[in-house]
Structure 1
Amino acid sequence: MNTTSGIHVIKMPDLGEGITEVELVAWRVQPGERVAEDQVLADVMTDKATVEIPSPVVGTVLALGGAVGQVLAVGAELIRIQVAGAGPGASSEMSAAASKVPQAMAPAAPPGITPEPARAPTPLDLVTPQATAGPVRSESVDAPTGVDKPIASPAVRRRAWELGLDLAQVAASGAGGRILQADLDAHVVAHGVGTPAATGAIAGAGVAPRHDEEQIPVIGLRRRIAQRMQDAKRRIPHFTYVEEVDVTELEALRAQLNAQWAAQRGHLTLLPLLLRAMVLAVREFPQINARFDDEAGIVTRHGAVHIGIATQTGAGLMVPVLRHAEARDLWSMAAELARLAASARAGKATRDELTGSTITLSSLGPLGGIVSTPVINAPEVAIIGVNRMVLRPVMRDGAVVARQMMNLSSSFDHRVVDGVDAAGFVQAVRRTLECPALLFVT
């Protein structure tokens, strides 16, 4: 943090662990707003976790140093705050300090175009329109050059031109006198101009065509997910192996355990039973519980089984890690799963809770479908996908009987996992689930 005559320049702090840059995912304050000491100013995202940046001083926000979605280097200017009770010279000194903003904050002039003479930016110059999080409409308002020029988006102007309408004659209902698509529709109906197919309901449909569009910035966790998925699919030659599992006996056992022990030990879902089956299968196929450093060319097989649990949150997909599953019983895993899921969905998961997995389980529950092709959580070499459980007719001992069936769709890194090993691992999981007494074999 730098201080100059009542103006505090807060820079992006070093968050440790070798982090050199972060993404700005949300502003908690705006220029002109009073802030208290320790009040959260902004949320930034590292490779895994969202971190809150607090204010070390009391004062008034002068300028923001970046837009939501922008990547900031450690040490880059984050925000400027005028300290409460600053002297009368603070205002002029603010402008002088603002003129020293790094050039990276200002857009560069296109090649071949001479930039306008430099001027000292005001605090508003440091805040771009994208600084407010949320969807951005493509129908941006044209800046009027005169009081008589109608305000309308390019889409509205194009449609008006196609209809031969003078926008100056169209009554506007939008904010600030903005002409909307609905205003064109109303004008066409009132004055009988244009063609029904272009302006009103399509013949026989009774519903007017829509022309609105919405652009959603890919920022924050969604950007991280996109980058990791793209990198995993580009670098890892996936292959997926699907096997069906009869979980009738497993479900009967789960119901019996819950009836007897739920009040004292907690309720069991299907996931702890699946995790236990994975732990037992890893003993037979340790090459599946591994991480591959493809740059160093080293596969590390882990004795500890740290299982990542793909969890859907309001912000996107997160993978909290259940550590040392090999040393837990069913109820311990159930309790830890519930805690991790609640922490992730509340946005409070720590970096330690989101890193270090050695194998991942992905389940969409009742939405799991019949077959899926899960993407490996690099640098791991395997991910186990759980599909929907359904009651199906199955042949048993020459008779058709109703059985609870479920598919496992699992993906593997073919660079280091052979097909026979992958199939053997899934079959080991299947044997345990179909004979659930094996879950308690140590």
Structure 2
Amino acid sequence: MSVLLETSYGDVVIDLFDHVAPRACLNFIKLCKIKYYNDCEFFRVEKGFVAQTGDPKNDGSGGVSVFEKCQPQGASFISPEISLHLSHSRRGTVSMTTSAADADAAKAHGSQFFITLADDLTYLDGVHTIIGRVEEGLSVLDKLAETEVNDNFKPYRVIRIRHTIILHDPYEDPPGFPQDCPSPEPLQTVPEDRLASDEELDDDANDEERARRLKELQAEREARSRAEVLEMIGDIGDADMKPPENVLFICKLNPVTEADDLEIIFSRFGECKADVLHDSETGDSLCYGFVEFESKEHCERAYFKMDSAVIDDRRVLVDFSQSVSRLWNATRRRRRSMAHNTMYTQRQPPLLAQAPKQFGSLGPNQAREADKQTVIQDDREKSPVQHIAKKRRRLRSRFENAT
């Protein structure tokens, strides 16, 4: 159960502890679903303490629960769900703030929440309901901690939540939950604030240049958000994974052109290795391939010289590679190896020395046979690689027969 917050300083992914504070987490994730947090500012930021937001009034006096937004209206505030198993000991802990909007609700939660900016804030335990923890985007917390604030800890620069994206929601909508919840339009007083911070826009630029820059920033942030989602669901190894800068992609090749031919042609720009892709069934060339150089400079020189060049009576197209398949394959192999090693080392089959205790008064031969059957059963249930278990059983059987 997780939510992605798009803020003025970057994206933050929060994993929610729905098994510990189910009602508070339901309230938080459903508020995100109706876009209640869009345009909410971080109205209080204290370095070494917390960054507080979630109030549409942006002053700490507003904010209600999602149940008030349902039809018929429910309670404006929910009761705390304090857990003894969670603590504010780690930076990035997300907790609901007790409301000050109503004296009767002084110990209840509405929509406001805070994110801790330092470790060991354990004196907050038992007062606020912990609902989650920041797992991605800790650099955003560093920028929040360093922002300039006034005497009331309000940042001089507007820092707001631009948008919320629900990555996983196991809860059903409460009765009367509003279904049509479009994202609000940017505030007319600061129409560009939701798209860029003051540092990213040039005040001296004309309106056309600013509009172009805003569109570029929006596209970059959308691409970043999609990459982080793909990383979380396991489709890519890292959101920051980039194509190698020393590899060229070549297409529209002649079917007779082979990898050795490309190596001979491109080796004049520097040491390189080439590969032409072929159909796995027929073996026919797919008419495209890759050339990998030892340095980025050689790759750039080859691109400028060989783009639109004629190779084997074909005018080829050359561009920098956009593929990360090799990096992703290496990441998958490394993860599989680590998972296999971890699971393999955790296996603890019973020893023959323990057979008398485990199998009572069985004789040595009977205990050995029972021990062998137990190991085989453990292999079937625990072994991550079945063929290894089979191989171990065969070797054990031959050894015992020989003896």
TM-score range, shorter-chain basis? under 0.3
TM-score, normalised with respect to structure 2: 0.22
RCO higher in structure (CA 8 A, sep ≥6) = 2
TM-score, normalised with respect to structure 1: 0.21
